[in-house]
A and B are shown apart, each in its own frame.
Chain A
Amino acid sequence: MPQRLSGIAWLAAGVLGFVAAVAGLVPLLPLPSPRAVDTASALEPPLKGPLLSRSLDVGRDGDASPDDWIRRGFGDVGPLSRGLLRLRVALFGPLEVAGLFGRDELGRDLCSRVCWGARVSLSAAAIAGVVSLLIGVAWGATAGWAGGWIDDVMMRVVDVLDSIPLLFLVVFLVTVLGEDSVRLTLDSLGIGRLAIFYAVVAAVSWLSMARIVRAKVLELRGATMIEAARAIGAGPARIIARHLLPNLAGVIVVKLSLVVPRVMLFESFLSFLGLGVQPPDVSWGLLANAGFRALVPFDPAWWLFLFPAMALAVTLLALGFLGDGLGAGAERKWRP
């Protein structure tokens, strides 16, 4: 593990923390619903309209309870988000900050859409991270530790999966999933497109992690310290937990810092082409796509493209700097 991070890496970590906090706590923020259509103020540039406004129905009609308002405005949200939304109503009442980043062609608040989009984009990254930690590390460590034909078979599987251009295959998969009858079948099974999308992201993310962990385990397996541990009677569980894992941590962290931005790019790439996340869900790639179409020669609605693209770029840049910092830190440790 790195001992010292440079200032810029700390800054990057701070930026990432901020983005993650916004994504996690967005229901708590006094922003309009990302789906609330307001055609009267369609394509309003940033900061043009009144900044503070009152959402129409919460608390005003006697019969609109917060739960009704949540269901109407935000769709089916999870229990955690619902709790946060209730807390928000309790805290801010009907007050909301609107038009910070401008509005789209249906008058929906872009700032709110970017913040809610962060959830999808970041959870794709988080899922990729977790999967490459669980499957990738386990797969690579098993192959490296077992050796022999087990190693051979396991690594051939990785080779073959790696040589399949998954991105193109995924596009083909999406083609099939676009068929109405398929979608209806899946919906009746309770599998949303977002779930399929996450599964796809997970499937592509663990291969390189398995490779690097295997190489490192192979290298460590022959190391004197492991032999010494075995000589004093340590069992395999103890050796793996106390001697192997701490030495793997460096490569794992560095690899993770490469996998996560790649998967975020992958998500935005597919969503930008209209083949990933589908409305009414929002993600940064999807917003950037909508924004790109708004870049027409006369009076381009630049904010619709600029803010989602900047959110994506800043997050990726922060991940890049953090990864560089971690890599440099890990290298310092390895070469004393």
Chain B
Amino acid sequence: MLRFLARRLLLLAATLWIVFTITFVLMRSVPGGPFSSERRPPPEIREAIERRYRLDRPLVEQYFGELGRLLRGDLGMSFRLADYSVSEVIAEGWRATATLGLIALAFAIFVGGGAGIVSAARPGGPVDGLVRAVAMVGISLPSFALAGLAVLFVVYRMRLLPAAGWGTLPQVILPAGCLGAVYAAEIARLVRSGLVESLQSDWVRTARAKGAGRWRIVAGHALRGSVGPLVAFLGPAFAGILTGSVVVEKVFAIPGIGYHFVEAATTRDYTLAMGLVLLYTLLLGLAGIVVDLVQAALDPRVDLER
């Protein structure tokens, strides 16, 4: 357990360092530094800017200086958003991103899990066919395609929900639904196939023979077999929702981290983009470790040392 944690955290640290080095090299490979192609400022102003962002030092010194600052948790100042530090942007954005992601994840688990259970109750039946077809479509539709269709029909045709913005419940429903739909579909398929298999198992037959009711069998006995694959899927799902929120935040104008990330990329805000790339690397790595730990706690057959 401790060895597992140490190994994974070490891998995560190495990954962060590699990502930092790549982004640093890319950023400084722009000839003349990141400010070169803007309107040429007078030399004094230029020097002042370079001093402020420490671009006037030798490259090696800049590299270790930035690495040191990073280790102290200081991500530096944004290049474009005047007087904003990267940490301040993250502090402002994380609430929206976390809310959106958690609601989307909850939507995926409950809707997907429910659909999977209903579908597995009568395999081959009409409900099962419908769920499987919808799940297949859900997996194939990119989140922005779903978002566009939703805006077109739900917002403009039926006028049920607002098209963009953030803060009220109706404004959350559409983005969270679009973000979670793909994972709801995947979870429905996972739960269904796990349930169908365990409903044919010996222990379910025994439970049935002892007179347990239909829902007791499903909820108390058969469903436990699907939990393992479901937890294993939560890792990729978390990563996908984090990535997908970049598009969804952009589409619905939600002031989260993903929105700032796209803005940073399109306005060439190097420090902000770099800080957010490192943040995403950290989050994805930590999520992977947590999922592996939960899996091992749930299933004694999972060996963390391997």
Contact = CB atoms under 8 A, between A and B. Distances in A.
A31 B261 CA distance: 38
Interface stretch (B84-92, B103-111, B270-278): B270-278
SS of A interface (majority): helix
Given A288-B145, A313-B145, A172 B273 contact: yes
B22 A169 contact: yes
B202 to A, nearest CB: 19
A312 B149 CA distance: 13
A160 B152 contact: no
A181 interface: yes
Interface string A2-35: 0000000000000000000000000000000000
Given A171-B277, A182-B31, A269-B144, 9 more contacts: A164-B15, A164-B18, A172-B274, A175-B264, A175-B269, A178-B265, A179-B30, A265-B142, A273-B265
Nearest to A320: B140
Interface stretch (A36-44, A131-139, A187-195, A292-300): A292-300
Given A179-B37, A268-B142, A316-B141, A288 B136 contact: no
Given A272-B144, A295-B151, A172 B26 contact: yes
Given A175-B270, A179-B268, A300-B156, A313 B148 contact: no
A319 B140 CA distance: 9
Given A168-B281, A305-B152, A175 B36 contact: no
Contact of A171 (B31, B32, B239, B273): B273
B98 interface: no
Given A275-B266, A300-B156, A292 B148 contact: yes
B246 interface: yes
Contacts of A50: none
Contacts of A312: 142, 145
7 smallest beta-carbon distances between A and B, as pairs? A316-B140, A317-B140, A309-B145, A175-B265, A180-B37, A163-B15, A168-B277
A199 interface: no
Contacts of A300: 152, 156
A305 B15 CA distance: 38
Interface residues of A, number: 47
B296 interface: no
Contacts of B273: 171-172, 175
SS of B interface (majority): helix
Interface in A273-324: 273-275, 288-289, 291-292, 295, 297, 300, 302, 305-306, 309, 312-313, 316-317, 319-321, 324
Most buried by B among A175, A176, A181, A272: A175
Contacts of A169: 19, 22-23, 277
Nearest to B269: A175
B251 interface: yes
A168 B246 CA distance: 10
A173 B26 contact: yes
B142 A313 contact: yes
A79 interface: no
A174 interface: yes
B27 A273 contact: no
B101 to A, nearest CB: 15
17 contacts: A163-B284, A164-B15, A168-B276, A172-B265, A175-B264, A175-B269, A176-B26, A176-B27, A268-B144, A272-B247, A275-B265, A275-B266, A292-B144, A313-B141, A316-B141, A317-B136, A319-B140
Interface in B1-56: 11-12, 14-15, 18-19, 22-23, 26-27, 29-32, 34, 36-37
Interface string B248-289: 001100000000011011101110011011001100110010
Contact of B37 (A181, A292, A319): A181
A181 B30 contact: yes
Nearest to A180: B37
Nearest to B264: A175
B184 to A, nearest CB: 15
B137 interface: yes
B264 to A, nearest CB: 7
A285 to B, nearest CB: 8
A227 interface: no
B249 to A, nearest CB: 11
A224 interface: no
Nearest to B276: A168
A295 B26 contact: no
A272 B163 CA distance: 18
A160 B11 contact: yes
Nearest to B244: A269
Contacts of A273: 246-247, 250, 262, 265
B241 to A, nearest CB: 13
A164 B136 CA distance: 29
A168 B269 CA distance: 14
Nearest to A304: B148
Contacts of B266: 175, 178, 274-275
A176 B140 contact: no
A82 B280 CA distance: 45
Nearest to A324: B136
Most buried by B among A289, A295, A297: A295
